[in-house]
């Protein structure tokens, strides 16, 4: 029997997660909620703890592969915690669910430089810091000034830049929810920032299947080598499993051609891993989170 209490945050039951992932794949979850504040997020986590339910924190579901079958526990999406505040002439504070694209556009308009390398990366600010999102022109790490989090015990924590350790596609916290991030940017001009952003967006559009349903790059790059190039050299571009396909545009993307299942995606993940291991002796590591 679930413990019931008066909650501000609203849960939906049996929510199909395919509606909340950029892959458009995923079965129903026991509970799904979209808290609007840190207080509501804390309530949702407490509800899960008191009822012994597993918790999965997601942003806008852009780096996520969700299984086809029932997902036990609570899925908490931060996408409604989306405030962006200019806190000084060069500092911006964003709530975890703020879309990265909106943050880039807001800082671009104000001629603030530092986030251009992230142009075109989908998802939320919290997700970007959690995994130190980036590309070949850099990652979010250098501009992160501080991070506020909520632990799974409901404790609020604050980390200053000097406490934060980032690695390649790995942010500074693991078992805590990032609730707010402050970024320290550099004064530039709108024209200059916009020019860089546009250039990176153009490059990305030419080399990645941006309009397809996908979860971005599936694997981390093993060191300096592009995982996409390795998979490509195994001749796997265009390979399908049911309605899932290794993108003919960039081999580190798996795309949903419409109606793909998580198990079809998993089968292509397995194929790419085996092929790259056999041919190059390299074990590819997943960049996407699988739940
Ligand atoms: N390449 C191929 N075949 C492919 C893909 C790439 O030959 O199918 C070659 C390219 O021609 C290029 C080299 O590999 O010479 C590098 O390719 P790219 O510039 O696309 O960079 P990447 O290392 O494959 C990384 C990030 C991307 C990010 C791009 C651009 C990772 C895992 N991937 O890809 O990030 O957009 O740089 O900055 O770090 C993501 O994280 O979701 C993602 C897509």
pLDDT tens per residue, range 188-215: 999 999 999 999 999 999 999 999 999 9
Span 65-120, pLDDT tens digits: 999 999 999 999 999 999 999 999 999 999 999 999 999 999 999 999 999 999 99
The ranges assigned to domains in the chain are: 11-76, 84-192, 209-290
Look at residue 155 and tell me whether its pLDDT is greater than 60.
Answer: yes
CB 138 within 8 A of CB 117: yes
Q: Is 233 in the pocket of ligand 1 (CB under 6 A)?
A: no
Question: In angstroms, how far is CA 189 from the centroid of its own chain?
Answer: 29
Pick left, alpha or beta for residue 95 (phi over 0 → left; psi -120 to 50 → alpha; otherwise beta). beta
Nearest to 84 by CA among 63, 58, 55, 115: 115
Q: State yes or no: pLDDT of 6 exceeds 60.
A: no
Which residue is it, tokens 């804390």? 42
Residues 6+ apart with CB under 8 A from 23: 61, 64, 65, 66, 213, 214, 215, 256, 260, 265
Helices then strands, counting H and E runs in the chain, come out as 6, 19
49 phi/psi in degrees, rounded to 5: -65, -45
Classify domain 11-76 at the CATH class level. Answer: alpha beta
* Residue 148: predicted pLDDT: 98
User: How far, in Å, from the CA of 210 to the mean position of ligand 1?
Assistant: 13
| CATH class for the region spanning 84-192 | alpha beta
Q: Is the CB of 170 under 6 A from ligand 1?
A: no
Closest residue by CA, ligand 1 atom 21? 226
Token pair belonging to 40 = 């509501």
CA 216–ligand 1 middle distance (angstroms): 10
CATH T-level assignment (fold) for domain 209-290: 3.90.78
Any ligand 1 atom below 6 A from CB of 273: no
How confident is the model over 224-231, as a mean pLDDT? 97
Q: CA 273, CA 122: separation in Å to the nearest integer?
A: 25
What is the pTM for the complete model shown? 0.95
In the reported structure, the alpha carbon of residue 245 is separated from the centroid of ligand 1 by a whole-number distance in angstroms of 17
8 Å CB contact between 94 and 103: yes
The C-alpha atoms of residue 145 and residue 115 are separated, in whole angstroms, by: 13
Is 250's C-beta closer than 6 angstroms to any atom of ligand 1?
yes
* CA 132–ligand 1 middle distance (angstroms): 16
199 pocket-lining for ligand 1 (C-beta < 6 Å): no
Query: Sorting pLDDT into bands at 50, 70 and 90, what band is 8?
Result: confident
């Amino acid at each position: 029997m679930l413990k019931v209490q008066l909650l501000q945050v609203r849960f939906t039951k049996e929510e199909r997660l395919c509606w909340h992932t950029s892959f458009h794949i995923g079965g129903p979850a026991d509970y799904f909620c979209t808290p609007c504040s840190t207080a509501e997020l804390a309530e949702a986590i407490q509800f899960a703890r008191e009822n012994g339910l597993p918790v999965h924190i997601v942003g806008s579901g852009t780096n996520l592969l969700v299984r086809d079958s029932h997902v036990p526990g609570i899925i908490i999406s931060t996408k409604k915690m989306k405030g962006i505040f200019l806190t000084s002439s060069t500092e911006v504070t964003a709530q975890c669910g703020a879309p990265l694209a909106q943050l880039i556009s807001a800082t671009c308009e104000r001629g603030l430089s530092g986030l251009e390398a992230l142009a075109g990366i989908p998802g939320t600010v919290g997700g970007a810091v959690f995994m130190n999102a980036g590309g070949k022109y850099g990652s979010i790490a250098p501009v992160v000034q501080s991070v506020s989090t909520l632990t799974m015990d409901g404790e609020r924590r604050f980390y200053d830049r000097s406490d934060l350790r980032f690695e390649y596609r790995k942010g500074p916290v693991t078992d805590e929810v990032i609730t707010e991030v402050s970024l320290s940017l550099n004064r530039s001009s709108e024209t200059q920032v916009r020019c860089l952003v546009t250039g990176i967006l153009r490059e990305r559009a030419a080399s990645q299947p941006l309009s397809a349903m996908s979860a971005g790059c599936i694997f981390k790059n093993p060191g300096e080598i592009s995982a996409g190039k390795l998979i490509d050299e195994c001749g796997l571009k265009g390979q399908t499993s049911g309605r899932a396909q290794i993108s003919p545009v960039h081999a580190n993307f798996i795309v949903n051609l419409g109606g793909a299942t998580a198990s079809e995606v998993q089968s292509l993940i397995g194929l790419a891993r085996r092929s790259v291991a056999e041919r190059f002796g390299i074990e590819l590591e997943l960049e996407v989170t699988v739940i």
